[in-house]
Amino acid sequence: MKRYIIIVISVMFLSSCKIGKDYTKLEIDMPKTFVSYTQDSTCYADMKWWDVYADTNLRNLIKYTLENNKDMKIAVAKVKEMAARRSITHADFFPQIGANIYGQDEKLNYQGDFSKPHDIEYGVKANISWELDLWGNLRWANDAAIAEYVSTIEGQRALMMSLVAEVAEIYFELIALDNELLIVKQTLNAREESVRLAKIRFEGGLTSETSYQQAKLEYAKKATLVPDLEKKIAMKENEILALSGSFPMRVKRTETQKNIMLPDSIPVGLPSDLMERRPDVRKAEQKLIAANAKVGVSYTNMFPRIALTSSLGFETDEFATLLSSPMFFISTNLLSPVFNMGKNKSKYKAQIAVYEQECYNYEKVVLSAFYDVMNALVEFDKMKEIYETRLLLEQSAKVTMDLAQLQYINGVIGYLDVLDAQRNYFDAQISLSNAYRDKQITMVKLYKALGGGWE
């Protein structure tokens, strides 16, 4: 027993060796700042999503979606699975102990010429097996399991970030559709009045029937927009409800479209911060860490592996004497690849190629994150100009339409000129409504691109 203890301690001391290359963070030469933006110590993404989205109905929708979205539930279950798998891998460090209780009766008959008497044996044994981590094989496997577990957590966070942005974007699109439908109905009321006036003027002999029919045509054209918009609204409601894991119902939302004022500037932090702030980038790095650890596993698989097995307990041929018949057995197994046509070496090379792929994937994700921010910043910078021009267009179109209607009543211009003015004003109203929507969505995209929306 003393000799056995000395052997185990010696091998445990040797097993402190861990061969292979430890993971080092991949260096990416990112720009120091975002183009046209100075260095910022703070970032818009540091705000909580419930502070960014002040609308109570939107907050409730986001909260409900994060709790009930089916993809989120799958992601949570995936994290639980990987936590359990990590525990399985960690358990390989320790001895595995099993129990065996048996009673056997054996009778042999060799070619029918010799019959050996019954050989009865009873036993109670504890079986112990322990693979010693001589080269770090188990430790590399444990590192890979930890990285894969963390990557699922980052994946869950990335999903949360996307869901927050997606719900907000659909919500603002839904409100814009509501506003567009309101504009159409208001326009229909105006067109109905135009039809009435055109009819009176036609019946009074002041205009031809053509003007009257044109007024009816414009009313009919705008009327066709109502069911189409109602369909879009219903589909958009279903989209946000499906995302939240709910069955069809009415989505509670703000009744009127709010015009948010975009700030002159917004803190965006540094490009290098994206690697820590964005969960998709963090997930890609964890996959890279796992791939590096698996390289270590495949490398150490080319070296001999030592496993200790031991049995201790009681064994006898008479049940009555079982507890007075102790037994002990120990063996050391050296598992070493001798000749396998280079299989382990090929596995090692293949895993190096997998690691190389993950390096490029990590660089790709970082580059994509950087351009997400740049595109969002371009939208942010230009959206203010777009809104101002559309607002000016809407105001000018309104004045032009009012003047055209007044001139038509006084007989200065024909009805076609009035129709053109009305169409221009209607288009300008829709364009301005979309500008309201786009300003809100611009902030959603920028917040998401910077890595906001997850905890």
- Listing DSSP states for 416-439 in one string gives HHHHHHHHHHHHHHHHHHHHHHHH
Kindly report the length of the chain.
455
CB atoms within 10 A of CB 274: 26
pLDDT tens by residue, 58-83: 999 999 999 999 999 999 999 998 88
According to the model, what pLDDT value does residue 425 have?
95
* Most confident by average pLDDT, 108-112, 189-193, 268-272, 434-438: 434-438
The whole-number pLDDT of residue 118 equals 58
What pLDDT, on the 0 to 100 scale, is given for residue 12? 53
Q: How many CA atoms lie within 13 A of 375 on its CB side?
A: 11
Q: What's the confidence (pLDDT) of residue 11?
A: 53
Q: Which of 215, 277, 182 is nearest to 418 (CA)?
A: 215
Report pLDDT for 124.
Answer: 80
| Least reliable range by pLDDT among 189-203, 284-298, 387-401 | 189-203
- Residue 422 has a pLDDT of 92
Cβ contact 382:446 at 8 Å: no
Q: What is the pLDDT of residue 329?
A: 67
Q: Confirm whether pTM is higher than 0.75.
A: yes
**What's the pLDDT band for 191 if we cut at 50, 70, 90?**
confident
Give the closest residue to 402 by CA, choosing from 389, 418, 388: 418
As separate numbers, helices (DSSP H) first and strands (DSSP E) second, the chain gives: 11, 6
Compute the distance between CA of residue 222 and CA of residue 390 in angstroms, rounded to an integer: 21
State the Cα–Cα distance between residues 436 and 451, nearest whole angstrom.
24
Q: What does DSSP say about strands 96-106 and 109-110: parallel, antiparallel, or unpaired?
A: unpaired
Q: What are the structural domains of the chain? A: 16-93+133-302+337-449 (1.20.1600.10), 96-130+304-336 (2.20.200.10)
The Cα–Cα gap between 198 and 414 comes to: 11
> CA–CA separation, 269 vs 369, rounded Å?
13
> Average pLDDT for residues 241-254, to the nearest whole number?
88
pLDDT (tens digit per residue) in 95-151: 888 887 867 776 666 666 655 565 677 778 788 887 777 788 888 889 999 999 999
Tens digit of pLDDT for each residue in 405-414? 899 888 888 8
